[in-house]
Amino acid sequence: MHARHTVDCDVLPGFTAAYLRIAGDECAFIEAHTAHAVPRLMGELERRGRRPEDVRYVVVTHAHLDHAAGASALLARCPRATLLAHPRAARHLIDPTKLVKSATAVYGAERFAALYGVIEPIPEARVRVLEDGDAFELGGATLRVHHTAGHAKHHFIVDDPAVSSVYTGDTFGLVYPALQRGGVRFAFPSTSPTDFDAGEARRSIAKVLSLGETYACLTHFDAIRDLEEVATQLRVWIDRSEAWVEEGARSEAPTAALEATILGKLRAAMGTEAAARGLVLGAEDWALLETDITLNAQGLAFVADKTRTERAKKAAAAGA
């Protein structure tokens, strides 16, 4: 028996997904979201007639908190499970001090707890690091990971041929159900801080397509079949984002001003792309998009500022 079930993890419907993968007598959760999602994940396991002891793996595509903050709480409920993660992600989940400290500095302790819950260190003995191309077995199925660094340097995707699916995390964009109206697809990438790399993002998209699976299972949100259409839209956005980064890198404006400029361009481009598809964005749509637009602008401004700083250092070194 092979099955894949989507679990809607977030308070906001259709925003963040995890996947319960059942293979024979074994199960895996792919993505963990936050500690607040654990009751939903365990509830799905129970609905499918499975026990916590049946969960062999908890897999996270990367260490961003909307994907991995719940990993420690989920492992605590699944006594036989092992965490599978990218090498760079694994070390931050074994010792989450830096993750917690940086996020708490941004949100404050109370808001952090409301968003993510408690993040405990995961014992190293319960963590397995997966290098590029490594495979793992689940109930007779072989799943394989591929490192995809376009969104984050600590990101991988998971190929699952037994159900013709690839779990893409944030490497294959965001496709919110609320914006898929009139049978028209609306997709865009995540360029959130701090690792956006246009070249790697393009290679990551190409890797997803090269696997030849029927479904791309996005964390934001759900399984999609029209991979070529989504890839086409993502490439347009990546080209545009790369151009904005280059403009910013050539500018002398402060980082905050760069971010504000890119934010305005992102909002305008969202409206243009939606209109081109006959999608009229209302107040609820813009509210749904606001967090991603803001984070995307922050990410692009960060890369632009980093690029110009590095160029200035090289120029100074060459003139020394």
- Among 190, 210, 211, which Cα is nearest to 201's? 190
Question: Given 178, 204, 230, which residue is the final one in a domain?
Answer: 230
**Residue range(s) defining the domain that contains residue 285:** 248-319
One domain for residues 180 and 50: yes
Q: What is the DSSP string of 194-218?
A: T---HHHHHHHHHHHHHT--SEEEE
- DSSP tag of 253: S
Mean pLDDT (whole number) for 30-43: 97
- DSSP tag of 162: G
Which one is predicted more confidently, 312 or 85? 85
One-letter amino acid for residue 291 of the chain? T
Q: Are strands 222-224 and 215-218 parallel, antiparallel or unpaired?
A: antiparallel
Query: Has residue 49 been placed in a domain?
Result: yes
Could you give the count of Cα atoms lying within 13 Å of 185 in the half-sphere of its Cβ? 17
Q: Are strands 127-129 and 82-85 parallel, antiparallel or unpaired?
A: parallel
The total number of residues written for the chain in this structure: 320
Query: Has residue 140 been placed in a domain?
Result: yes
- Cis? peptide before 194, omega within 30° of 0: yes
One domain for residues 46 and 181: yes
- Among 190, 186, 222, 207, which Cα is nearest to 292's? 190
One domain for residues 296 and 203: no
Q: What is the pLDDT of residue 171?
A: 97
One domain for residues 135 and 269: no
The CATH number linked to 138 is 3.60.15.10
Would you call 35 helix, strand, or coil by DSSP? helix
One domain for residues 188 and 273: no
One domain for residues 66 and 172: yes
One domain for residues 198 and 278: no
Which one is predicted more confidently, 102 or 166? 166
Number of domains in the chain: 2
CB 30 within 8 A of CB 9: no
Whether residue 260 has pLDDT greater than 90: yes
Query: Has residue 236 been placed in a domain?
Result: no
Query: Has residue 241 been placed in a domain?
Result: no
Mean pLDDT (whole number) for 264-292: 96
The string of pLDDT tens digits covering residues 180-192 is: 998 899 999 999 9
Whether residue 249 has pLDDT greater than 70: yes
One domain for residues 219 and 256: no
Question: Exposed (0-12), middle (13-18) or buried (19+): which is 299, by Cβ within 10 Å?
Answer: buried
Instruction: Give the global pTM.
Output: 0.96
Query: Has residue 172 been placed in a domain?
Result: yes
One domain for residues 42 and 180: yes
Query: Has residue 268 been placed in a domain?
Result: yes
The string of pLDDT tens digits covering residues 125-176 is: 999 999 999 999 999 999 999 999 999 999 999 999 999 999 999 999 999 9
Which one is predicted more confidently, 9 or 183? 9
Q: What is the pLDDT of residue 320?
A: 64
Residue entry with tokens 């977030």: 10
One domain for residues 25 and 166: yes
The string of pLDDT tens digits covering residues 234-248 is: 999 999 999 999 999
123 φψ region: left (φ > 0), alpha (ψ -120 to 50), beta (else): beta
One domain for residues 105 and 252: no
Q: What is the pLDDT of residue 11?
A: 82
Q: How confident is the model at residue 102 (pLDDT cuts 50, 70, 90)?
A: confident
Q: How confident is the model at residue 105 (pLDDT cuts 50, 70, 90)?
A: confident
Q: What is the pLDDT of residue 83?
A: 98
Q: What is the pLDDT of residue 67?
A: 96
Question: Given 230, 262, 295, which residue is the final one in a domain?
Answer: 230
